[in-house]
Every structure is written in C-alpha cells, then in structure tokens.
C-alpha cells in the first residue's frame, strides 16, 4: 500500500484548498453540502461555499439528499462518479437510503472525438486501424466516465468474413485526470486522520488507497478482458447466461475488443413483452445466474445494473461490462450461506454464532445483545409479503451496526450487497409479484446439502487437515536446521526474547499431531 508523503501533501495544500473550495461550490449549487459533515476536517469550507453560491440549481428541487449528491458528483466528473459508486457499497458509512440513491448514479459522460479513439486503437495495437477493422463506427454507442464503446467489423487475415465486435477505448489522459483527483482524496483522508481521532477506525487513508487500486485495475482493459474470459469459462455450456468472447488480438491496456451481442436491454420492459419474453422466467434465470456466480464460483459481476444486461432472441441473459468484479473465498461463502440460512429460519443464535466464529465480531462483545440487534433488523423485513422481502436491505442494515459491535468491515460483502440490491431492483421491475431468492431456493437447498451437510463438513475438515500436514515437512526441516545450528554454535538463542516463538512452534507441531490422531481415530470408528 502506498504511504502518504507528508512533504508532498504539504506542497499540494494550496492547490487542494482551491480545488476543495470549487468542489464545495458545486455541492452548494446542488444542495449537497451535507456531505462535508462526514469530513469535519473539511467542514470549514462549507461557509464560504454557501456565500459564493447562494442560488440552488432548479433541477435539485424536491430531490432526496442522495439524488442531489449523485447529481453533484456527476457534475464533478469521472473521479467523483467512481467515488460515488464506491460510496454506494458503503451503507455502513453513508446510510441505506443514501447508498441506494448513489447506486443509481449514471456513469455517462459526453463522448470524446472518434479521431482520438482511432488514434488510441492504433497506438495500443501497433497497426493501422484499416488493417484491423473493415469498419469502425465513428459514433460511439456508449460513453462513460472511463471509456466509450464503438461498434466495428474485424478484418480477417485469411480473407474470411469479418466479425461484428464492440471496441472499448479509454478516454484520452484519463489516467492523469484520476491521479490529480487522487492527490486531493489522499490529502483530505490524511487531514481527517490527523484531526479527527474518532474517524481513524474507518481508516480513510487506507480506503482511498483501496479505491485508487480499484480504479487503476478498471483502467487496465486487459484485466477486464481476463474477468470476462473467466466468467465465460464458468458458464460454459449454460444456455441461459452468456458472456461475449474476447478478441485478444485486438485487446491491449487501453483497448478491449469483444464479440458484439444483440438483444433487448433488460430495462426495456415494453420491448421484452413485445418480443414475447416472460418476465418471471427472466427473473428465475437471473436468480440462478447470480446464485451460481456467488456460491458456486465465488466470482461475481459487481455492476449488474439493467444497462449491463440484455436478453437475446432465445431468452438468455447476456452480460457486458466487467470492470467491477467481486470475489468470495470458500470460507466467506460458507459464512454467507450459514448466515442467510439462520436469518431465513429466524435462528438468530445461529446468525450470531457464525459472526463470532468467523471473527467478524470480537469475542468480548455480548452474544445476547448482538442477537437482539439481529432480531430488530430481520423481523420487520421478514414480516413483509414475500415479494417485498429484500435480502440486500437486510445486509445493509446489518452492516450499519458495525460500529456498535466493533464488527470488522468486509469489503467483498459490501460489493455483494450492492449487487444484490441491483438484482432485486431488476426482479421487481420484471415480475413485481416474485422474489428472486424464493425462485433460487432449490439451488440454495442443493448447494447447502452438497457444501454444508455432514459429508461436506467431513471433506472440508479433511482438506484443512491435509493443508496442515503439508506444512509439517517444512516445520520439521526448520527444527532440524535450528538444532544443527545450535549444535555447531552458529545459532544462539536469547531465551528471554524467543521463548514465546519457540513455544508457539512446538504447540503448532503438537496441535497437528493431536488433530491427525483424533481424525484418524474418528475415521477408524466410522
């Protein structure tokens, strides 16, 4: 992780002050200066901003705070659009209502010149654009904060018919623009940590660095290509969920070329109905695809808004835009499954236990009080009609109690919660009476039997034992090497400093032997 350079921060202070004042003025114009309340270290800038801009933009009249903030961030440009998207996953920080409004922040900007797009393609791929494509449309089909997309037809070396593709091209100098804004974000985060001790637990500097790394990955289109390829492999043979193929020959750091897909946008309900598609069946397929991504594969599309999904002529869902992806390791998937099962059966003791066992809630916290908080969160949600039950809202409210119980923030679950919120919104739009989690219930039950049943737990215990045993030879080798060094005098122990480390190694060895013996005796008794 990058360290904050205090000298550099100091040198940037005058520029950052002017930039912050300009930002505050934009916030004032959109009646969104409340955001500075999150950063008391920057709150002093609000008063001059109000004096400079007393008149509110008429477009914000009657809007909710989150909607006003979304408009302001959009006006501030690409870095702030991405910042708003990042904040939409942090309902624990900004609240559920604000996070929901920010999740609808439209990542759209005016297109840049097609000549610049062509120049980028030629520079990145090292060939004249006419040798790469028979046709390259000047008018982009989509323009967002980081890149825009042009339709094209490939030129094949063997004279074969060209293929219809979509070419994604980064905006000119977008990397430098983000770096300039990241200097400001780091400055505000560092100032906040130094002047607001109560906010240090939120690790603002670390949060900015995480955001910076995420954006850098998103601006390397080879990483997006790899994500699309992996997701496509995970669903190979599935006729209900498709991912466009990547043209690796025409892909580089600032250019991504994929198969062009055809279909009806998921948000165009009237067109879907006119084409004869069944909304309930679409939701069922979406629920299955989402479940398989999260639980089967642990690799999910993290930006599943309706504009990123199409329905093809056969009724299959086709996803695009793989810049934001989430991963869940096996342990997190098991935690999530156990937690959701506990909530669905209203077994709040089980939900509390999985949080404590995973280490997400410190042991010194009260299990009974945590159970009480869980009940207060879940009962109002599960008391609603089936179609209105929102697991995403449940998780959002759970994350809001993190401060009360010193819970450890799980970034991968925050992104998942945002994705679930988007998926639920799509489901209600297409089939208001349905609930996608109920539709996915058969998959949930089968997965639980295979992964959380007695046999699966035995396999998991065996896997953990094998992992431990694999480390034994290295441990023994280290002990033998240490013993040899002690014998020839090349290793001298300072017992006052190293007795704990030695005891830890011997206890680890003893634990492995005991576990192996217990598992062996248990297996022998089966």
* 3 state SS of 258: strand
Half-sphere exposure of 153 (CA within 13 A, CB side): 6
With vertex at residue 282, the alpha carbon angle to CA 279 and CA 288, rounded to the nearest 5 degrees, is 145
- Structure tokens that stand for 158 in this block: 């063997």
DSSP single-letter state for residue 91? H
**Cβ count within 10 A of residue 49:** 20
Structure tokens at 326: 């989430």
Angle, CA 488 vertex, CA 487 and CA 493 arms, to 5°: 65
Report the phi/psi class of residue 315: left, alpha or beta, with left for phi > 0 and alpha for psi in -120 to 50.
left
Q: In this structure, is the dihedral angle defined by the CA atoms of residues 257, 259, 261 and 267, taken in order, positive or negative?
A: negative
CB contact set of 242 (below 8 Å; sequence gap of 6+):
235, 261, 312, 316, 317, 318, 319
Task: In the chain, count H helices and then E strands.
Answer: 24, 11
Q: Which of 67, 103, 106, 81 is nearest to 393 (CA)?
A: 103
What is the C-alpha R_g of the chain?
27
Q: Is 499 marked active-site?
A: no
DSSP character string of 450-495: HHHSHHHHHHHHHHHHHHHHHTHHHHHHHHHHHHHHHHTTS----H
Burial 237-274, CB ≥16 within 10 A → b, else e:
eeebbbbbebbeebbbebbbbbbbbebbebbebeebee
The order of strands in the sheet holding 309-311 is: 241-242, 317-319, 309-311, 264-265
Rounded to the nearest 10°, the torsion over CA 215, 217, 220, 225 is -120
Q: Pick the catalytic residue: 101, 247, 303, 353?
A: 303
Inter-residue contact 505 to 475 (CB < 8 Å): yes
Q: Which two tokens stand for residue 102?
A: 């920010």
Q: What is the dihedral of CA 486, 491, 493, 499, to 10 degrees?
A: -70
Residue 418, number of CB atoms within 10 A of its CB: 29
Q: Provide the annotated active-site residues.
A: 303
């Amino acid at each position: 992780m990058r360290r904050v350079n205090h000298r550099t921060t100091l040198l940037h202070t005058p520029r950052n002050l002017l930039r912050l004042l300009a930002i505050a003025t934009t916030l004032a114009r959109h009646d969104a200066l409340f955001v500075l309340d999150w950063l008391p270290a920057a709150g002093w800038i609000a008063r001059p901003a109000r004096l400079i801009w007393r008149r509110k933009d008429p477009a914000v009249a009657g809007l909710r705070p989150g909607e006003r903030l979304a408009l302001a961030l959009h006006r501030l440009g690409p870095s702030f659009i991405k910042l708003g998207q990042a904040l939409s996953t942090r309902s624990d920080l900004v609240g559920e209502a604000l996070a929901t409004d920010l999740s609808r922040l439209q990542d759209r900007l005016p297109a840049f010149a097609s000549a610049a797009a062509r120049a980028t393609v030629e520079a990145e791929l090292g060939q004249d654009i006419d040798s790469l494509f028979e046709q390259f449309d000047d008018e982009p089909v989509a323009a967002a904060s980081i890149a825009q997309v042009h339709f094209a037809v490939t030129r094949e070396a063997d004279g074969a018919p060209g293929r219809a593709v979509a070419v994604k091209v980064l905006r000119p100098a977008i990397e430098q623009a983000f770096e300039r804004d990241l200097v400001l974000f780091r400055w505000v985060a560092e100032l906040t940590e130094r002047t607001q001790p109560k906010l240090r637990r939120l690790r603002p500097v670390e949060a900015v660095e995480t955001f910076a790394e995420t954006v850098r990955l998103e601006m390397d289109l080879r990483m997006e290509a790899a994500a699309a390829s992996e997701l496509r492999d995970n669903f190979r043979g599935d006729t209900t969920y498709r991912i466009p193929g990547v043209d690796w020959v025409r892909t580089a750091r600032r250019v991504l070329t994929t198969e062009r897909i055809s279909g009806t946008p998921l948000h165009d309900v009237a067109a879907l109905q006119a084409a004869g598609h069944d909304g309930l069946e679409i939701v069922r397929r979406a629920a299955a695809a989402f479940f398989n991504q999260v639980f089967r594969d642990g690799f999910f599309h993290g930006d599943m808004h309706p504009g990123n999904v199409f329905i093809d002529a056969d009724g299959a869902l086709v996803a695009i835009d793989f810049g934001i992806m989430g991963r869940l390791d096996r342990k997190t998937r098991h935690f999530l499954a156990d937690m959701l099962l506990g909530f669905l059966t209203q077994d709040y003791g089980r939900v509390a236990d999985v949080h404590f066992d995973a280490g997400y809630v410190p042991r010194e916290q009260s299990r009974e009080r945590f159970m009480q908080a869980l009940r207060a969160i879940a009962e109002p949600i599960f008391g609603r009609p089936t179609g209105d039950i929102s697991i995403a809202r449940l998780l959002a409210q759970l994350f809001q109690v993190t401060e009360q119980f010193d819970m450890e923030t799980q970034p991968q679950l925050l992104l998942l919660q945002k994705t679930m919120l988007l998926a639920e919104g799509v489901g209600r739009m297409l089939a208001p009476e349905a609930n996608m989690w109920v539709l996915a219930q058969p998959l949930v039950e089968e997965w639980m039997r295979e992964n959380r049943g007695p046999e699966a737990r035995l396999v998991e215990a065996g896997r953990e034992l094998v992992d431990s045993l694999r480390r034994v030879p290295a441990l023994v080798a280290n002990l033998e090497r240490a013993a040899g060094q002690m014998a020839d005098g090349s290793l001298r122990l300072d017992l006052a400093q190293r007795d704990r480390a030695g005891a830890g190694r011997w206890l680890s060895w003893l634990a492995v032997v005991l576990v192996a013996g217990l598992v062996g005796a248990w297996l022998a008794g089966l």
